[in-house]
Every structure is written in C-alpha cells, then in structure tokens.
Amino acid sequence: MDEAIRTSMLTKRFGDITAVNGMDLSVKKGTIFGLVGPDGAGKTTTIRILCGILLPDEGEAFVGGYNTVAQAEQLKEYIGYMPQRFSLYGDLTVMENLEFYAEIYQVPRRVRRERIKELLAFSDLAAHVGKLADQLSGGMKQKLALSCNLIHTPEYLFLDEPTTGVDPVARREFWKILFGLKNQGTTIFVSTPYMDEAERCDEVGLMYNGDIIRLDKPENMIKGFERELLSVSVDNIFKARDYAGELPYVEDVYIYGEELHIIVSDFNYARDRLALDFGDKNIKTFDIKKISPSLEDVFITSVREMKKDMEVRRGA
C-alpha cells in the first residue's frame, strides 16, 4: 500500500465555525505534503485530527491504515507530531530533553543511547548537548524539538509550522533534515507559511476557510496559472493599487513586496494604457514588465478569487 494518509469527507466544527469542511485527501507514502493557507484556514485542526488528538464530527481519516479515532492508540506509535507551539523543557539540557522524550515515547533503553547519538548527528546538535534548551538559538530549538519528536523513529511525521520565526539559513538546514527523513521513507505532513518551503513539497494543498481550494504539485500549480501577470513599480503603491482596481482591463491587483502585481487579460493593451492611466492620477510609473508567477502569486490569487466568490454568494 503506498497510501500513507487518507481522509474522506473529514469535517470538524467549533460552534458556528467549520474548521475543516468535508476534506478528501490522499498522501502517498514517503512524500512530503505541504499544507498552506491563511490564519484560521484549518491547518492545525486538520493535523490534530490526523494525529488522533481531536475527534472529527463527520467523515474519517486514516494514517498508515489506522483509523484516527478507533485506532488512535496504535497510531501514536507510528507518528511524530510537532505542534505549532511545541514546548521544550527550557530548564533541561539538550540531552535531558532527548532522554525525557525517549521516556515518554517508551523507546527501549537498549536502543536509546544509539538513537540519541544518531539524532544529535542528524541535527548537528552534538556540540550543544550540555546547553539548556532555553539557551539555544531559534533554529537550534526547532531542530531539537524535531529530534524529540523523532526519538521513536516515526513513519509518519506531522509538523505544524515548524520553522515559523526561524531565520532563512536555519530553515534551510531544517529542511535538509526533512529531506533526509523522506529519503529514509518517512512521510511528512507539514504546514508552513513560507512559499519557498511549500515549493519543496511533493504536493501542496492550499487551505482556505476549511476547504482545500487547490491541490497539486507546486510546479503544476505554477504552470496552471494561465493569465498575464505584470510587475509594476510606481511611486505611490497604495494609490496605484486602489486606482488599478477600478480599471476595466485589470482583473486583479495586489501588493507583492515593493511592487504591484497586476493580472490583465491583454498584456500589450495594458502595457500601453497603464502608465498613461496612472499618469492621469499623478502616479509615476518606473517600470512595467511581464513576469512568470510564483507559487505565492498562485496562492494569493486563488484565495482572492475564493473570497470574492463567497462575497458574491453572500450578497446574492
């Protein structure tokens, strides 16, 4: 069986809020699945259900063939779960934290030492075993947290925004570890706010308002973006954005870093008109160029479309 995770019609409600809305998902063994989406999209709720910590209201989920409700206990042996706010014991050393988790996960004593040694080498923390967890840098803390969740050699690893707030270099190191795990056959289910991380996943689900609104390989998502995208630099980006939104030939506009990204149906027409139209409003245009979309463009536009759809439906 090469299916690692499967959900069907998975639903979770909190009062009036539907945090997960009839989710159907399948993740292949030995792959990295990325879950992205804005705050409150339902990422943490999904992960908690998959780890057997939260009960769904409807539908079901299987991890490694285990039903996350009926077989939650067996499931725990095979999964590692690093919550969004995973806490290490700050007043314990690196080594003590690892030993503590080895105890919690009931790693047999005879393999414990060997396993800890492996993890320390893996995470490059061997030189820091005697340091208190509180004294580690952010990136090291996350690597230690990951190591603690790997102590029992899980086949399925669930990571909820494991690198949030960690600097780019440390994030890259963290991902190197994830690739190492993947190569050993571990299935990884990870939520992340970072697009460079999403691009490293085999498959990505974009979650919005409890629904997976896009699901594909990152490269396919980018290929599937079949509209003309302009990157425009101007002297007054907010005014330009608001005004561009009113222009009939502009389909969508949003701020992307220091530039405006504008989606149009006809590049040549827009290129000729845009600077003139901005000029009429005393907005100076420095540069207009056609660009290929990034994964972030795909996500931003997908979420914006979804929002518009919902507003239209609500208004109707």
Ligand X SMILES: Nc1ncnc2c1ncn2[C@@H]1O[C@H](COP(=O)(O)OP(=O)(O)OP(=O)(O)O)[C@@H](O)[C@H]1O
The binding site for ligand X (CB under 6 A) comprises 14, 17, 19, 37, 39-45, 84
Structure tokens at 23: 């989710």
- Residue 37, binding choice from ligand X, Mg ion, none, Cβ under 5 to 8 Å by partner class: ligand X
Instruction: Tell whether residue 21 is a contact of Mg ion (CB under 5 A).
Output: no
Residue 226 Cβ, how far from ligand X at the closest point, in Å?
Answer: 28
Q: How far is CA 152 from the centre of its chain?
A: 24
The CA–CA distances, whole Å, from 242 to 91, 229, 245, 262 equal: 51, 17, 5, 12
Integer Cα distance of 233 and 217 in angstroms: 31
Token pair 């590692």 is at which residue?
Answer: 80
- Residue 9, binding choice from Mg ion, ligand X, none, Cβ under 5 to 8 Å by partner class: none
Burial class of residue 265 (count of CB atoms within 10 Å of its CB; 0-12, 13-18, 19+): exposed
Helix (H, G, I), strand (E, B) or coil at 123: helix
End-to-end CA distance of the chain: 46
Instruction: Tell whether residue 149 is a contact of Mg ion (CB under 5 A).
Output: no
Residue 55 Cβ, how far from ligand X at the closest point, in Å?
Answer: 12
Whichever of 43 and 171 has its CB closer to Mg ion, that residue is: 43
Integer Cα distance of 82 and 154 in angstroms: 12
Whichever of 48 and 115 has its CB closer to ligand X, that residue is: 48
Among 44, 147, 163, 186, binds Mg ion (CB under 5 A): 44
Judged by CB under 5 A, the stretch of 12-20, 39-47, 217-225, 280-288 that binds Mg ion is: 39-47
Whichever of 194 and 278 has its CB closer to ligand X, that residue is: 194
Crossing angle (nearest 10°) for helices 109-123 and 138-150: 150
Instruction: Tell whether residue 46 is a contact of Mg ion (CB under 5 A).
Output: no
- Residue 40, binding choice from Mg ion, ligand X, none, Cβ under 5 to 8 Å by partner class: ligand X
Whichever of 22 and 40 has its CB closer to ligand X, that residue is: 40
Residue 56 Cβ, how far from ligand X at the closest point, in Å?
Answer: 13
- Asked if residue 8 lies in contact with residue 50, where contact means CB atoms within 8 angstroms, the answer is no
- Asked if residue 175 lies in contact with residue 20, where contact means CB atoms within 8 angstroms, the answer is no
Nearest residue to Mg ion, scored by beta-carbon proximity: 44
Structure tokens at 225: 């973006």
Write the single-letter amino acid at 118. Answer: E
Binding to Mg ion (CB under 5 A) within 65-124 occurs at 84
Interface with Mg ion (CB under 5 A): 43-44, 84
